[in-house]
Amino acid sequence: MNTDTPAHGPLAGIKVIELSGIGPAPLCCTLLSDMGADVLRIDRNAPSGLGSPRTPRTDLLRRGRPSVSIDMKHPNGIATLLRLVEQADVIIDPFRPGVTERLGLGPAECMARNPRLVYGRMTGWGQEGPLSQAAGHDLNYLALTGVLHAIGPKEHPVPPLNVVADMGGGAMFLAVGVLAAVIEAKRSGLGQVVDTAMTEGSAYLATGAFGAAAAGDWLQERASNITDGGAHFYRCYKTSDGKFVSIASIEAKFYAILLDKLGLNPADLPAQMDRPTWPEMALKFAALFAQKTRDQWCDIMEGTDICFAPVLTFDEAFEHPHNRDRGSFVEIDGVKQPVPAPRFSRTPSGINSPPPGMGADTASGLAAWGLGKDEIATLMAEKAIGWQG
């Protein structure tokens, strides 16, 4: 793991300005940084009021890049940002539509300084539309796509953490979008705006499910389909020690192994895809899984083609033999965290540094992007830069 040397991943040489936000935009910039991009995080020079602050070392969405504090309401703060924009490949805007325009930092102002700039915008609802100015969070964006309706028991939908809309439909689509635009800008010499909406990214993730629904193969009632917990062969079961295991034996050949390991004779059972019998079969499976501990079922099923895995806590995932063998997690400054993904054979990604304090790198970060020592001192004295919280 690369924690103390300059970034050398596949994005080395790409320069990114990150306007600080929460959730998906920071995760996108963490990904870009881990892959070697030179990301400069701009933290506003006053507390954001987002609740109790986490200690920097555990705020993992800030890892791997310096934090520079700039007052975006100070004219010389905006002037400093525009100077940085002149040498950037990408700027990431996490604000509601129109905020950067009001600051004098919108696409028009930035691209006038740098025509090849890729202006990545991250919002829940998108830059236009009736809801574009409304507040929202992951759950709301997921709700509007139809995806949330399909997640949970029959009684009610369940929030699937904030990894689907925020991180999947938001951060990952923003990363793909800006990188695609950077590639195109290398050919054309012209940048563009990348409008990433978590609603649209979430819907895109469910493209296959939309196709199944259109074909009549997806029932609109929760817990009634193969992959939503309706099938007895694709769900989680409680073990005798109060823990859980996951079963995903969709294919017939995998289901046959599952029945064998459970001690069941296929001749005595209904057909796997006989949907009306799924609830009864789920009760039968539940009774069997409740007879042994999670570790005992791991001894029986792990490593087979059942499509099985124990349901682990975050701490347990760090210690699992497969994850330890691959080095899927690392501990830095006492904080357990995932390593960069995906993996590259020739230009490996790396975590360049632990999360910095707010504005901790203001002077050094700006100097690395070409500002002089005296100029930085003047801006500090004017309180145009430097953490004031």
Residues 87, 162, single domain; the answer is yes
Cα 162 from Cα 168, distance rounded (Å): 9
Nearest Cα to 285, choosing from 237, 230, 249? 237
Residues 134, 54, single domain; the answer is yes
Residues 143, 255, single domain; the answer is no
Determine the pLDDT at residue 51: 39
213 lies in some domain: no
Domain housing 142: 15-205+329-381
Comparing 203 with 52, which gets the higher pLDDT? 203
352 lies in some domain: yes
Please report where in the chains the tokens 């790198």 appear, as a residue.
Answer: 361
Spell out the alpha helix ranges (H) of the chain: 24-34, 75-85, 99-103, 107-113, 138-145, 173-188, 198-205, 207-214, 252-262, 278-289, 294-301, 314-319, 321-326, 362-368, 373-381
335 lies in some domain: yes
Residues 313, 364, single domain; the answer is no
Residues 92, 134, single domain; the answer is yes
Residues 338, 319, single domain; the answer is no
Residues 169, 290, single domain; the answer is no
Cα 366 from Cα 17, distance rounded (Å): 11
The model's pLDDT over 8-17, given as tens digits with 9 standing for 90+, comes to 899 999 999 9
- The secondary structure element, H or E, covering residue 193 is strand 192-197
214 lies in some domain: no
The model's pLDDT over 173-205, given as tens digits with 9 standing for 90+, comes to 999 999 999 999 999 999 999 999 999 999 999
The model's pLDDT over 114-138, given as tens digits with 9 standing for 90+, comes to 999 999 999 999 999 999 999 999 9
Determine the pLDDT at residue 339: 98
Domain end, chosen from 277, 300, 325, is at 325
How many domains does the chain divide into? Answer: 2
Q: Which two tokens stand for residue 84?
A: 């940085």
294 lies in some domain: yes
Is a pLDDT exceeding 70 seen at residue 68?
A: yes
Percent of the chain with pLDDT over 70: 95
The model's pLDDT over 328-355, given as tens digits with 9 standing for 90+, comes to 999 999 999 999 999 999 999 999 999 9
168 lies in some domain: yes
Determine the pLDDT at residue 2: 44
Say which amino acid occupies 156.
H
> Which residues participate in catalysis according to the annotation?
137, 166
The CATH number given to whatever domain includes residue 109 is 3.40.50.10540
In order, the DSSP letters of 2-41 are -SSS---STTTT-EEEEE--STHHHHHHHHHHHTT-EEEE
138 lies in some domain: yes
175: left (phi over 0), alpha (psi -120 to 50) or beta: alpha
Residues 196, 108, single domain; the answer is yes
Residues 316, 343, single domain; the answer is no
Residues 244, 258, single domain; the answer is yes
- Residue 80, judged by CB atoms within 10 A of its CB (0-12, 13-18, 19+), counts as buried
The CATH number given to whatever domain includes residue 305 is 3.30.1540.10
Say which amino acid occupies 34.
D
pTM score of the predicted model: 0.94
Residues 65, 123, single domain; the answer is yes
151 lies in some domain: yes
Domain end, chosen from 325, 354, 372, is at 325
Residues 233, 193, single domain; the answer is no
Please report where in the chains the tokens 């949330």 appear, as a residue.
Answer: 148
What residues have CB less than 8 Å from 308, skipping those under 6 apart? 245, 246, 247, 248, 258, 297, 301, 302
